[in-house]
């Protein structure tokens, strides 16, 4: 996921990571010398990369917890196996796109490999900042393992105009977390039935969510609990709007005219309901970010929430004894959390990361081989189990791995929810200058919490979207939108 918190650096080389480093080196080295094993993509990458021993490659990575992967685990292991050093340039998420574009325009070749949020890919590819990876995939025999990436990520986050520009590398997807003990409590069930006339169940649509959340808040108030809470700061809520708008039947644009249609009746309904739901959530929820929402859920103050996969691991207590995760609130709900799809059944693949090669790199083969190795079945499985690195499962094998299934008692249910999301998830809107359209949505959410009229908010937002489209070029953007809309994760199937 995209890190939303402070990346503390204490204890980077914990015993767990030292053990992982040693074990991984032994596994990969053994694979290279065993004639009995078919050569994997990871082994092939190591063997080919040894030709570039002594080189240094530079990779751009999100600052914070995410960077603990290449700094502590994969970077040192790669150097041990190949003799190639990895220099990690840490950049805040909000600055990554700009930094990548600035470096491309400068043409200095300072970056070799890149972490790219998939929604940026059309912009970066059309600008020429990303290397086309198809020839490398063929040269180094990575095609078969690429097909084993979960379909929604593979089919939606890898290509622009039919060409590969990045390897999906982070299974970011929204998950609903709910209190199993609350939903299974006979007294709560009885009170809920008396209040609503229906049985208590995890909501499958937004109408049920509103009714369930409101009723649970009334029932649970004596226990100082609320029916639900979400992070509501605009950067996060923007993703939730994109998901909910489409689950309710909305389309972002008219495909023929490219006129924005976010101000449709569906859009107005979604914003209105979102604001109404705040009434049964904790006071001040409009200002809540990732950490505030996490803290409330971990403290047992809310019965339902929606967030990225790390919530599920941390609520179970997995990895939270790591010093780098000392900022994560201690869980009081371990063993009490259930996992489900958000209402509507098509969760947002919110942000995420893909691995790419900079077109200006002076070490393209070495950079490519590093990202093939990182993304491979063998190495990615180890990376998604690192407690601190925030890489979420994205391969079919990740969801069924016996080691992952055993990490905590309910890990099997957690992975089943992530796998469901990997099949039905919705891709973030991805256009030329996507950031400009997203900024309009963020501002719209801010206006909503300030009390402005949802219809007026969305009419103004649609007008701003139309102005952006006109400035870019209607026909030019129409072609990019058509390509995006043709993908399986653009709209619910």
Among 32-41, 405-414, 416-425, where is mean pLDDT lowest? 32-41
Query: Distance between CA 455 and CA 432 in Å, rounded?
Result: 26
Q: Give the model's pLDDT for residue 263.
A: 98
Distance (Å, rounded) from C-alpha 450 to C-alpha 448? 5
3-state secondary structure of 130: strand
Q: For 123, phi and psi rounded to 5 degrees?
A: -60, -50
126, with CB counted inside 10 A (0-12, 13-18, 19+), is middle
pLDDT of residue 320: 92
Q: pLDDT at residue 346 above 60?
A: yes
Cα distance between the two ends of the chain? 25
Q: CA-to-CA distance for 340 and 352, rounded, in angstroms?
A: 20
Token code pair at residue 155 = 């089919």
Rounded distance between C-alpha atoms, residue 162 and residue 241, angstroms: 28
d(CA 343, CA 358): 38
Return the percentage of the chain with pLDDT > 90, whole number.
90
Q: Which of 6-20, 38-52, 334-348 has the lowest mean pLDDT?
A: 6-20
pLDDT recorded at residue 34: 36
Q: What secondary structure letter does DSSP report for 163?
A: E
Q: How confident is the model at residue 389 (pLDDT cuts 50, 70, 90)?
A: confident
Task: With CA atoms as reference, report the closest residue to 415 among 395, 431, 386.
Answer: 395
Average pLDDT across the chain, whole number: 92
Give residues with Cβ within 8 angstroms of 457, minimum separation 6: 271, 444, 447, 448
Residues 108-133 have pLDDT tens digits of 999 999 999 999 999 999 999 999 99
| H/E run at residue 418 | helix 411-424
Please check whether residue 334 is in contact with residue 315, taking contact to mean a CB–CB distance below 8 angstroms: yes
Tell me the H-state helices in 197-301.
206-220, 234-247, 265-277, 290-298
Residue 2: what pLDDT?
53
Question: Is the pLDDT score of 25 beyond 70?
Answer: no
| DSSP summary character for residue 351 | S
Asked if 31 contacts 40 with a C-beta cutoff of 8 angstroms, the reply is: yes
Cβ 198 vs Cβ 191: under 8 Å:
no
Listed residue (433, 435, 445, 440) closest to 469, CA to CA? 433
More confident residue, 190 or 17: 190
List own/partner pairs for 184-191 with CB under 8 A and 24 or more apart: 188/216, 188/219, 188/220, 191/219
- Exposure b/e, 166-182, CB count within 10 A at least 16 = b: bbbbbbbbbbbbbbbeb
What is the structure's pLDDT at 1?
62
**In percent, how much of the chain has pLDDT > 70?**
92
**3-state SS, residue 350:** coil
DSSP string, 17-85: HHHHHHHHHHHHHHHHH-TTSPPPHHHHHHHHHGGGTT-EEEEEEETTGGGHIIIIIHHHHHHHHHS-E
Residue 91 host element (H or E): strand 85-91
Minimum mean pLDDT range among 16-30, 232-246, 304-318: 16-30
d(CA 189, CA 342): 21
pLDDT in tens, 174-187: 999 999 999 999 99
For residues 22 and 435, which has the higher predicted lDDT (pLDDT)?
Answer: 435
Interval 71-94: pLDDT, tens: 999 999 999 999 999 999 999 998
Residues 399/422, Cβ–Cβ less than 8 Å: yes
pLDDT of 28 reads: 46
Using CA atoms, how far apart are residues 242 and 37, in angstroms rounded to an integer?
A: 45
Task: Pull the structure tokens for residue 8.
Answer: 């503390």
Asked if 492 and 247 count as a contact pair (C-beta separation under 8 A), the reply is yes
Which residues pair with residue 358 across a beta bridge?
A: 130
Q: Pick the closest to residue 302 from 221, 410, 413 (CA basis).
A: 221
> Which pTM value belongs to this model?
0.91
- Structural domains of the chain ordered from first start: 15-168+352-383 (3.40.190.10), 175-349 (3.40.190.10)
């Amino acid at each position: 996921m995209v890190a939303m918190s402070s990346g503390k650096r204490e204890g980077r080389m914990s015993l767990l990571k030292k053990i992982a480093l040693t074990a991984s080196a032994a596994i990969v080295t053994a694979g290279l010398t065993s004639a009995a094993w078919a050569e994997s993509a990871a082994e092939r990458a190591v063997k080919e990369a040894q030709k570039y021993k002594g080189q240094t490659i530079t990779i751009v990575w999100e600052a914070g917890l995410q960077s603990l992967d290449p700094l502590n685990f994969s970077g040192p292991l790669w150097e041990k196996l190949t003799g190639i050093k990895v220099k990690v340039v840490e950049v805040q998420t909000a600055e990554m796109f700009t930094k990548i574009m600035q470096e491309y325009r400068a043409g200095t070749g300072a970056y070799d490999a890149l972490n790219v949020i998939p929604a940026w890919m059309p912009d970066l590819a059309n600008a020429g900042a990303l290397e086309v990876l198809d020839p490398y995939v063929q040269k180094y025999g990575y095609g078969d393992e690429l097909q084993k990436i979960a379909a929604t990520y593979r089919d939606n986050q890898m290509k622009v105009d039919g060409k590969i520009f990045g390897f999906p590398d982070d299974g970011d997807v929204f998950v609903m977390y709910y209190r199993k003990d609350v939903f299974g409590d006979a007294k709560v069930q009885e009170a809920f039935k008396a209040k609503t006339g229906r049985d208590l169940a995890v909501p499958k649509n937004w109408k049920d969510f509103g009714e369930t959340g409101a009723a649970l808040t009334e029932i649970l108030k004596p226990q100082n609990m609320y029916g639900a809470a979400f992070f509501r700061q605009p950067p996060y809520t923007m993703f939730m709007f994109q998901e909910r708008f489409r689950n309710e039947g909305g389309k972002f644009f008219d495909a023929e005219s490219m006129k924005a249609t976010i101000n449709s009746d569906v859009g107005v309904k979604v914003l209105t309901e979102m604001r109404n739901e705040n009434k049964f959530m904790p006071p001040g929820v409009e200002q809540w970010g990732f950490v505030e929402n996490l803290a409330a859920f971990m403290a047992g103050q809310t019965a339902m929430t929606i967030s990225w996969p790390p919530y599920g691991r941390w609520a179970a207590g997995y990895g939270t004894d790591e010093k780098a995760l000392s900022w994560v609130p201690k869980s009081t709900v371990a063993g009490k959390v259930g996992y489900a799809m958000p209402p509507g059944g098509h969760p947002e693949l919110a942000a995420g990361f893909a691995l790419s090669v900079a077109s200006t790199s002076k070490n393209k083969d070495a950079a490519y081989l590093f990202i093939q190795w990182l993304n491979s079945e063998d190495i990615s499985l180890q990376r998604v189990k690192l407690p601190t690195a925030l890489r979420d499962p994205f391969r079919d094998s990740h969801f069924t791995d016996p080691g992952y299934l055993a990490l905590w008692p309910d890990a099997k249910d957690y992975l089943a929810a992530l796998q469901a999301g990997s099949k039905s998830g919705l891709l973030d809107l991805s256009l030329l200058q996507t950031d400009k359209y997203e900024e309009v949505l963020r501002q719209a959410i801010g206006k909503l919490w300030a009390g402005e009229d949802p219809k007026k908010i969305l009419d103004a937002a649609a007008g701003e979207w139309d102005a952006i489209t006109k400035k870019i070029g209607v026909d030019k953007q129409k072609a990019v939108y058509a390509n995006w809309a043709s993908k399986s994760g653009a709209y619910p199937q």
